[in-house]
Amino acid sequence: MARARPSSSRARSKTRSPWRRRWSIAWKSLLVLALVAVGALVTAVYVARAQLPSFEDLKSSPNGQMIRVHAADGSVIVSLGPSYGEWLSIDRIPAVMQRAMISVEDRRFYNHLGVDPIGVARSVDVRVRRGRWTQGGSTITQQLARNIFLTSAKKFGRKFREAILALAIERKFSKDQILELYLNKVYFGGGAYGIDAASRRFFGHGANHLTLSEAAIIAGLVKAPSNYSPTADAEAAVGRAGVVIETMRETGAITPAQAAAADPQGVKLAPAPRQNSVRYFTDWALPQLELLIDETVKPLEVWTTLDTGMQRDADAAIQQNVPKGAQGALVALDRDGAVRAMVGGTDYVSSIYNRATQAVRQPGSAFKLFVYLAAIEAGKTPDDKELDAPVTIDGWSPRNDSRRNSGEVTLRTAFAYSLNTVAAKLGQMVGFQTVADMARRFGITTPVNTHPSMVLGTSEVRLIDMTRAFASVANKGVAVTPYAITKVTTDGETIYTHEVDRSHVLVAPDVAARMTDLLQTAVNTGTGRAAQIGRPVAGKTGTTTSSKDGWFLGFSSGLTTGVWMGRDDAKPIAGLHGGTAPAKAFAAFMRQAVAKRPIEEFDTKVTLPEWQLEPDDEAYYGSPDNSTFVDGDGYPIGGGAEAAPEAQRVPSDEPPATGEGDEQRLDQDWIDRVTNRRRDTPRPAPAPTAGVPAREVPVAPPAERRPPTRVDTYSTADRPYQ
């Protein structure tokens, strides 16, 4: 009996069963993988959730260290690093600010679990159509995770970790907590983190008073802080705010009437803080924190010695007196070493190089401070006599700028008129190594040579070091160390306080007093006359070869100020002498700086020199690069930096131009010369410092007078020590 054939349906079923089995296995495998993936994802999320800091910990941990620098009066002069304003709880954040941020950054914020699938799909669609990533799909929660825990690297691994953290954050914190963290931590440009810092930075007030237009400007910054920052591009910021307002209208966050009433263009932006001379001070002061404290994470409040009023006066004094094309620097130290003002150049924006603390330049005759200190310590007094006569030391022959010698003079007279021959003899007497040691003792940190010409300031020095040396003389011989930071606090706790050391005595008080005696004379009737301010002042000028550098350093009423002027390329500056622009800048600053301080008399009253000599121009061997005609008394009667060329310089009946400072000329010289009138009467002494009586100063007898004499110019190439 024949076997029955299977039906066609069973045959087809048997034929397809292997494929069905394969599909079944595949689907089951995918399901298992999906379940495993979901399980792994859930595990990863909950592991991440367990490792997340608490809400309070996240509030108190800024991204980076912030440093706020305070002036002596407590005002904030600069903020460095990330800037954080006041932390605003969600109930203190204006609703318009919350709606603006949600509308422009994550309009489904309250409906997703940390990752928005619709936003991701939209981002991928744009990527496919445009061929590049132009639209992000990150939620506010993802941005918060990235800002706190990750970097902004555009890698899929980072995006995956970001998604895990976002899901974990949503599991641990409420939506309000997430929004509060985000609005207080997100970066808005200009160094500002959080809406309060941004509001203060851009509008000058806290974020709890934001208007719709201001909120729109802040919300628009998150996309590209550097592009839309009001301080970088106000027009772009306003334009972006318009987009935010329109988005808020579309999402129903505001009504059409509110959108129409908004006026981003009418928002008044806060002026950008000045980044000028005060930055010279902070750039010098803040690196010292590494030596003072160990804290590198917590926000720091740094309290400094800077007097903002003095800083403005210092800036103005330099700006108003520095020669065209030149640079200027100023340092002012209080009696304990506190730096009250510091100007490192004419414009910080164009040059951050600090000429007050970094530049090394020759000080000219200002260096004679150390020569005379060494001589006084060796037993010399201001009234001791020294012969002003030609001298040669190891082949070096210094000359006075007047090109004449005055014979026997007191040290007071020699210092007041900066006689080079006397300084050279004093240096030889005490030893040039002794002078160098004295300079180092008083705080000169740069190398000091011991060539004979070093007494005229051939070693390069820093302005702050020279100012420190003069301040130590003013402090009766006790060392003054410049400092800028008085205390440092963090979280309300003081972690550093400066203590002034007054125990280091450099010279005996009587040595400092005698040196002050000489410095007073130099200002009252010598090379520093332009530095007079109507109260006792002691100081010294300095001018280098060909007028490349001009210095004035002095003190009054407990404040010591040093001024330097010159070119960065060390080219000559016509008419620049220590007794001209630098002395004028010193006087302009000090008049204001000490105006409210009581007048302080020095231990020794000012004593005028034996006779009135023309102040020396502090030249080196030879003469400066200008010829000068002098009369029989050594008074210039013409010439100078702006005089006619050498071949054209002849006596004339035209009155000479009058200068100031180191090159003061008296019209009476011209009158006497033209009329051939003998000047047999004493020359009147200049007006003395307030409160100090003047006395008649004798002059040389008529028989010693000579007719005008021409002084030749020597090449600077002949000067052995440059």
148 burial via Cβ count (<10 Å: 0-12, 13-18, 19+): middle
Query: What does the alpha-carbon distance between residue 460 and residue 446 come to, in Å, rounded to a whole number?
Result: 7
The token pair that represents 560 in the structure block: 């010591």
Q: What is the C-alpha separation between 73 and 307, in angstroms, rounded?
A: 7
Known catalytic residue at 627:
no
Q: Which two tokens stand for residue 525?
A: 């009737």
- Marked catalytic residue, from 365, 406, 472, 547: 365
In which region does residue 93 sit, left (phi positive, over 0), alpha (psi from -120 to 50) or beta (all else)? beta
Contact of 398 with 457, CB cutoff 8 Å: no
355 within 8 A of 345, measured Cβ to Cβ: yes
Q: Cβ contacts of residue 596 below 8 Å, gap of 6+? A: none
Q: Which residue has the tokens 């404290």?
A: 293
Q: Output the CA torsion 439→442→443→449 (10° steps).
A: 10
Cite the beta strand spans of 231-369 per DSSP E.
Answer: 300-304, 327-334, 339-343
Gap between the Cα atoms of 436 and 449, Å rounded: 7
- Strand ranges in 299-429 using DSSP code E only, listed in sequence order: 300-304, 327-334, 339-343, 385-388, 407-410
Rounded to 5 degrees, φ, ψ at 205 are: -150, 165
Q: Report the amino acid identity of residue 386.
A: E
Q: Three-state SS for 202?
A: helix
Residue 67: left (phi > 0), alpha (psi -120 to 50), or beta? beta
d(CA 714, CA 401): 12
Task: Give me the catalytic one of 105, 386, 618, 663.
Answer: 105
Q: Does the annotation count 105 as an active-site position?
A: yes
Integer Cα distance of 279 and 283 in angstroms: 6
Q: What is the DSSP string of 316-347?
A: HHHHHHSPTT-EEEEEEEETTSBEEEEE-SS-
Q: Supply 189's token pair.
A: 């440009």
Q: Which residues are catalytic?
A: 105, 365
